[in-house]
C-alpha cells in the first residue's frame, strides 16, 4: 500500500512509499546559496504528505552547473552557508518526512554560458544543435580524486545541516553517467574501457560518501536503466552496476533513463531512434516509463528500488508496488501543480493531471517546424520551462498559474538565467 512504511538497509524508515522526485529549482543565490524561496517551496512540499523529498541538483563544482540558480557545495561550508542549509532542511522536514540532497556535477552537460570548456570523462561533445554546449576536456586522475572527495564533503555538509539522506546522481547524462557510457567515455586508463573501470568513479564516490556520513545514514544512487542510445549504457550494464552498488551498502536506487541527447526522462523526443532494450513490450504502453526495467532488476537484486516518471493514477502506482517493480513511487511534474498530491493519493481521493501534451511552444499551424531538430528541441524544453515557472511561483508567491503561456515561461526563464549569470560574474 502507498501508506506502508519502508525500512531501508541502513535502518532508516520512510513513512510511506511516495517520494517527490528531484526537479531543478533554480532558486539559489547567484553564488549558489539556498534562499528563503527554496525554504518556502520545500515547506509546501513537506506539508503535502510525501514520505521523502529529493532536492534538485546540488552541484559540487561551481563551474559545472546543471543550470543557473543551482545550490553549490564545492567546499566546506562557511557559517552563512551552513545556516542556510539548516534552514532549508528544517523547512523541508517539518511534515515528518525525509529530505534527501541530490548531489551532482554537470560535466559536459554544462551550458557554454556557464562554462565554455567543461570537464568530462573524454572530449566527446554533446550532439545537440544550437551550439549551447562546449567541447569538453577529459578530467585528469587527480581531478577525479578531488571530485570524489567533493561528493563526500557535500554529503557531510547536508547531513550536518539536518538533511536525512543523500543521493549521488549517476543518471541523465551528467558527469558520472558520462563515465558509465561507452559512447562518451573513451578513456584508456583505469576509468575507461571495461564496465568495471567505467563504474569506478561512481563506486569511489559512494565509498567516500559512506565514510563521511556513517553506516546509519541513507545513501541513494540515481541510475539510468539505459541511455536509449546506440552504443550507450545498456540495461545489462545497469543491472551489473546495481549489483555492485548493493554490495557497496547503497540503501535505495532510483531507476531512470536518458540523457540530454535522448531525454526519455522528460518525455521529450530525442535526437535518434531508441535502441531496443531487453525488457517487456508493455514498457511503451505502461503508464510509468521505467517499471519493466525496475521489475527485471528487482528479480536479480534485493536493494530497494524507486521508480520515477509517468505515474498519474493511483491504480498504476499500487500495481507497481504489488508486482514488485518498485518499493518507492517517485512523482515529479504533478507536484509542481498539486503540491499535496501524495496526501490525496494515500487517502484515495485523486488521480494526477496531465499537462505535457498541451505545452507546445510551436502552434499547430506551424507544426512543420518540428521536423527540424533545433525547433523540436526548443519546443520540448519550452514545455519544461513551463514547469520551472510553476516552481518559481510556488517558492516566491506560494501559488501556481495553470493558465501561464508557454511562450511567456520560455522567455522568462531564459531572461532569468542570463540575469543570474550576470550577477554571478
Residue 228 is predicted with a pLDDT of: 63
The partner residues of 151 in beta bridges, in order of sequence, read none
- Arithmetic mean of pLDDT, 342-361: 75
More confident residue, 376 or 255: 255
List the one residue out of 78, 74, 76 whose CA is nearest residue 64: 74
Rounded to whole angstroms, the Cα distance separating 88 from 96 reads: 14
More confident residue, 266 or 79: 79
Residue 266's pLDDT band (cuts 50, 70, 90): very low
Residue 292's pLDDT band (cuts 50, 70, 90): confident
pLDDT per residue as tens digits for the range 198-249 = 999 999 999 999 999 999 999 999 998 765 656 667 788 888 999 999 999 9
Q: What are the phi and psi torsion angles at 150 (to 5°)?
A: -65, -35
> How many percent of the chain have pLDDT more than 70?
83
Residue 1 is predicted with a pLDDT of: 86
Rounded to whole angstroms, the Cα distance separating 245 from 238 reads: 10
Residue 361 has pLDDT above 80, yes or no: no
> Average pLDDT over the chain, rounded to whole?
87
- Arithmetic mean of pLDDT, 99-116: 95
- Arithmetic mean of pLDDT, 108-132: 89
Residue 230 is predicted with a pLDDT of: 64
More confident residue, 316 or 73: 73
Around Cβ 282, how many Cβ atoms within 10 Å? 10
Residue 145 has pLDDT above 50, yes or no: yes
Q: In the CATH scheme, what is the homologous superfamily, with its name and number, of domain 6-352? A: Aldolase class I (3.20.20.70)
Q: What are the phi and psi torsion angles at 224 (to 5°)?
A: -70, 135
Residue 141 has pLDDT above 90, yes or no: yes
Contact 90, 101 (CB under 8 A): no
Residue 316 has pLDDT above 60, yes or no: yes
Residue 262's pLDDT band (cuts 50, 70, 90): low
List the one residue out of 357, 294, 364, 380 whose CA is nearest residue 329: 294
Amino acid at each position: 500500500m502507498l501508506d506502508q512504511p519502508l525500512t531501508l538497509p541502513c535502518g532508516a524508515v520512510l513513512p510511506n512509499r511516495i517520494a517527490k522526485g528531484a526537479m531543478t529549482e533554480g532558486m539559489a543565490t547567484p553564488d549558489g546559496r539556498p534562499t528563503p524561496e527554496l525554504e518556502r517551496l520545500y515547506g509546501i512540499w513537506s506539508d503535502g504528505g510525501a514520505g521523502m523529498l529529493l532536492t534538485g541538483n546540488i552541484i559540487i563544482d561551481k563551474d559545472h552547473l546543471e543550470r543557473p540558480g543551482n545550490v553549490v557545495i564545492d567546499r566546506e561550508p562557511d557559517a552563512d552557508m551552513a545556516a542556510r542549509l539548516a534552514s532549508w532542511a528544517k523547512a523541508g522536514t517539518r511534515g515528518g518526512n525525509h529530505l534527501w540532497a541530490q548531489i551532482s556535477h554537470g560535466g559536459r552537460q554544462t551550458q557554454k554560458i556557464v562554462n565554455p570548456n567543461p570537464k568530462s570523462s573524454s572530449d566527446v561533445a554533446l550532439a545537440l544543435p544550437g551550439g549551447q554546449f562546449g567541447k569538453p576536456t577529459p578530467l585528469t586522475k587527480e581531478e577525479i580524486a578531488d571530485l570524489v572527495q567533493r561528493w563526500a564533503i557535500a554529503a557531510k555538509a547536508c547531513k550536518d545541516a539536518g538533511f536525512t539522506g543523500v543521493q549521488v546522481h549517476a543518471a541523465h547524462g551528467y558527469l558520472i553517467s558520462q563515465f558509465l557510457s561507452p559512447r562518451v567515455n573513451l578513456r584508456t586508463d583505469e576509468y575507461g574501457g571495461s564496465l568495471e573501470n567505467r563504474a569506478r568513479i561512481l563506486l569511489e564516490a559512494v565509498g567516500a560518501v559512506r565514510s563521511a556520513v556513517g553506516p546509519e545514514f541513507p545513501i541513494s544512487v540515481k541510475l539510468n536503466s539505459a541511455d536509449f542510445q546506440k552504443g550507450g549504457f545498456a540495461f545489462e550494464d545497469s543491472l551489473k552496476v546495481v549489483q555492485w552498488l548493493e554490495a557497496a551498502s547503497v540503501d535505495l536506487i532510483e531507476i531512470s533513463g536518458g540523457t540530454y541527447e535522448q531525454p526519455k526522462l522528460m518525455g521529450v523526443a530525442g535526437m535518434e531512434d531508441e535502441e531496443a532494450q531487453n525488457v517487456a513490450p508493455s514498457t511503451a504502453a505502461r503508464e510509468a516509463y521505467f517499471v519493466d526495467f525496475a521489475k527485471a532488476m528487482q528479480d536479480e537484486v534485493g536493494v530497494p528500488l524507486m521508480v520515477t516518471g509517468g505515474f498519474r493514477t493511483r491504480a498504476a502506482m499500487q500495481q507497481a508496488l504489488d508486482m514488485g517493480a518498485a518499493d518507492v513511487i517517485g512523482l515529479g511534474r504533478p507536484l509542481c501543480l498539486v503540491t499535496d498530491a501524495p496526501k490525496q493519493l494515500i487517502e484515495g481521493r485523486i488521480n494526477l493531471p496531465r499537462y505535457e501534451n498541451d505545452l507546445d511552444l510551436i502552434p499547430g499551424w506551424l507544426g512543420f517546424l518540428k521536423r527540424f531538430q533545433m525547433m523540436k528541441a526548443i519546443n520540448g524544453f519550452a514545455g519544461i520551462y513551463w514547469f520551472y515557472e510553476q516552481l518559481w511561483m510556488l517558492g516566491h508567491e506560494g501559488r501556481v498559474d495553470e493558465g501561464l503561456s508557454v511562450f511567456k515561461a520560455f522567455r522568462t526563464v531564459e531572461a532569468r538565467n542570463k540575469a543570474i549569470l550576470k550577477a554571478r560574474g
